[in-house]
Structure 1
Amino acid sequence: MAGKKLRIEVVSDPVCPWCYVGKRRLESALARRPGLEVDLQWRPFQLNPDMPRAGRNRREYYREKFGAETAENLLAGMQQTGEEVGIQFGSDPDAVAPNTLSAHVLMQWADADPGVDADELAEKLFAAHHVACEDIGDHAVLARIAGEVGMDESEVATRLAAGVDEEAVEAKIAHAVSLGVSGVPFFIVNGKYGISGAQPPEVLVDAFDQIAAED
């Protein structure tokens, strides 16, 4: 694999627990191919685009969406899956199910800034939502997290409040939908190969090996 390079676009939504698991599994797969050079880019997708910008109570929203019993079973299943990859999913009755448009805008700013580690920002957004049960639709929370990865906290807060780049991000989400992406995570490799879902590391490794050999 030495000298081979892959461009991996990760279509994701930070409120999606499987996207967080998928990130861990991707990291595990790439660790098995240390000689593979990877250009990792994050692409936006909203599972709940109609979520109010102020968000809703997370537990109530899940119960409404899936039904009370199914919601509890899904949460319990994610707890177990998370533990397998080192994620401790949090639980807070007051946790918010946010609208993630602003979080995606922040991710796109990071992705376009060579001085910012967008992967680190993605990790912090996932952890804030899924582990700490913070509201990542709250601009103050997003600005604080942005500051933690070296972005200008005050500037981020001002630009988020002004809605800068929201339409551009919505266009990118619409583009993903036009490509047939209906669920996340979804990995686009070298602009033409698609891998759907939080696949096990060995599945990802096999796919990357095959793509690297063909391209």
Structure 2
Amino acid sequence: MSSKAGPVQVDFVSDFVCPWCWLGHRNWLAAQKQVPEIKAVTVWRPYELDPALPREGKPYKAYMKAKFDGSNREVWQKMRDHLEAAAPGAGIEFRFDEIEHRPSTLDAHRLMRWARGQDAAVADRVADALFEAYFSKLENIGDPGVLARIGTEAGLDEAVLTDLLPGDRDAAAVRDEANFFRRLGVTGVPTFVFNGQLALPGAAAPETLAEALKEAAALPAR
């Protein structure tokens, strides 16, 4: 398999409070190592699991109880069991029982938009730091101070972030982009879109993602 036709662009539609998205990203990194002959460029795309959530967020336990009450609780427990079993193999840690705050992720997506504007490596560092901050370090990734620190450590300008994050710069653009993918039919995350032609929903196994990457690389350019 050759990548002479150019790199495969993979739009990774995700939300930073989605545990499947963190697992999906780690699986995606593993998938790329299985087919090193194919160059892929990952572009982080926003998706808010709950765009109606207030900017200040809500207490996590009350929020999750309302969302997964009754019969849905068993569904969530099964998902948790799967995630916690898969986490060590992916090199990640979920501390669900200790999370205290369910943030709005609008500002985290604004930060990612700016990181994406720098380069893919900065964007990847910001993304992984956001997931780790929320699920492992139990931080509020809706807090401008937390976001400014994450962005600065990834290579963005601290003064710029400190100035922009408390405001609304690019908030509308983030939501427009998220709505674009909803209109395309994305109803859950993670979703991988290969060269705008092939979509794969869910935190698929590395082998499945590698096969999708090979298939996308073989498709004629549009």
TM-score (norm 1): 0.93
Share of identical aligned residues, percent? Answer: 36
Could you say what secondary structure the match of 1:67 adopts? coil
Question: Hey, what does 2:189 align to over in structure 1?
Answer: 184
Q: More deviation in 192-201 or 138-147?
A: 192-201
User: Per-residue deviation at 1:79?
Assistant: 1.5
Q: Distance in 2 between matches of 1:173 and 1:100?
A: 12
What is the aligned length? 215
Question: Hey, what does 1:54 align to over in structure 2?
Answer: 56
Q: Distance in 2 between matches of 1:74 and 1:207?
A: 24
User: Per-residue deviation at 1:212?
Assistant: 1.2
Q: Distance in 1 between matches of 2:120 and 2:3?
A: 25
2:133 corresponds to 1:128: yes
CA deviation profile, 1:12-45 (whole Å, cap 9, x unmatched) = 0010000000001101100111121111100000
2:14 corresponds to 1:12: yes
Question: Hey, what does 1:45 align to over in structure 2?
Answer: 47
Indicate which of 14, 23, 26 corresponds to 1:24.
Answer: 26
Question: Hey, what does 1:77 align to over in structure 2?
Answer: 82
2:163 corresponds to 1:158: yes
Q: Which amino acid aligns with 2:3?
A: G
Q: Which amino acid aligns with 2:148?
A: A
2:215 corresponds to 1:214: no
User: Per-residue deviation at 1:78?
Assistant: 2.2
Indicate which of 191, 206, 209 corresponds to 1:204.
Answer: 209
Q: Distance in 2 between matches of 1:200 and 1:73?
A: 18
Could you say what secondary structure the match of 1:191 adopts? coil
* Aligned partners of 1:102 and 1:137 also within 8 Å: yes
User: Per-residue deviation at 1:165?
Assistant: 0.5
Structure 2 gap ranges (5+): none
Q: Distance in 2 between matches of 1:114 and 1:93?
A: 33
Question: Hey, what does 1:3 align to over in structure 2?
Answer: 3
Q: More deviation in 33-42 or 69-78?
A: 69-78
* Aligned partners of 1:59 and 1:93 also within 8 Å: no
Q: CA RMSD in A?
A: 1.7
* Aligned partners of 1:116 and 1:151 also within 8 Å: no
User: Per-residue deviation at 1:116?
Assistant: 5.8
Q: Distance in 2 between matches of 1:115 and 1:10?
A: 12
Question: Hey, what does 2:179 align to over in structure 1?
Answer: 174
